Amino acid sequence: MIRGPYIAVVGGGDDLPASTRRAAREVGRAIAEAGAVLVCGGLGGVMEAACRGAQEGGGLTVGILPGRDRAEANRYVDVAVPTGLGEVRNALVVRAADAVVALSGEYGTLSEIALALQAGIPVVGLDTWELGHGGRPVEAVVLAQSPAQAVELALGLAKRF
């Protein structure tokens, strides 16, 4: 088996600012350079940029797709797993991972953060959702200041997983 850990990268699929795209690519590259497998939802935006970075870093990328058609995977996905489950597959992206890095993102990303936290899988965030309850912040996501640090934190937490 390809030696782990498996790190999921979750984030927005569309209309990404160039800075987020760049960060996702750096995250992917750092995951690959650490010898980890990159798991994601297989589509565009953060997923595509992260896969691109991972391929540049010589790593392996896995895309767990919402639809039934393998062709919907971005071109940097090595292994595409079509599921036909729609957003139900969000939970499978998370379950396939030893740690999650969340970048920016919309509601789907928020669901992946929440599902990971529910399942006890550590989540590192880079410019992503902020959570609160009763007017106070809930600091369940480990905050990173850079792509390199995000991956370093995720690998450290995954190792303890």
Backbone phi, then psi, for 109, in 5-degree steps? -65, -40
Number of residues that bind a copy of itself (CB under 8 A): 53
Question: Per CB under 8 A, does 134 bind a copy of itself?
Answer: yes
Question: Per CB under 8 A, does 130 bind a copy of itself?
Answer: yes
Question: Per CB under 8 A, does 160 bind a copy of itself?
Answer: no
**Complex with a copy of itself: residue 34 or 96, whichever CB lies closer:** 96
Q: How far is CA 42 from CA 9, 71, 72, 159, in A?
A: 10, 10, 8, 24
Question: Per CB under 8 A, does 18 bind a copy of itself?
Answer: no
Crossing angle of helices 147-160 and 18-33, in 10° steps, is 40
Cα 54 → chain centroid? 12
Question: Per CB under 8 A, does 41 bind a copy of itself?
Answer: no
Nearest Cα to Cα of residue 96 among 1, 29, 4: 4
Applying CB under 8 A, which residues contact a copy of itself?
Answer: 1-2, 4, 6, 37, 60, 62, 64, 68, 70, 73, 75-88, 90-92, 95-96, 104, 106-108, 110-111, 113-115, 117-119, 127-135, 138, 140
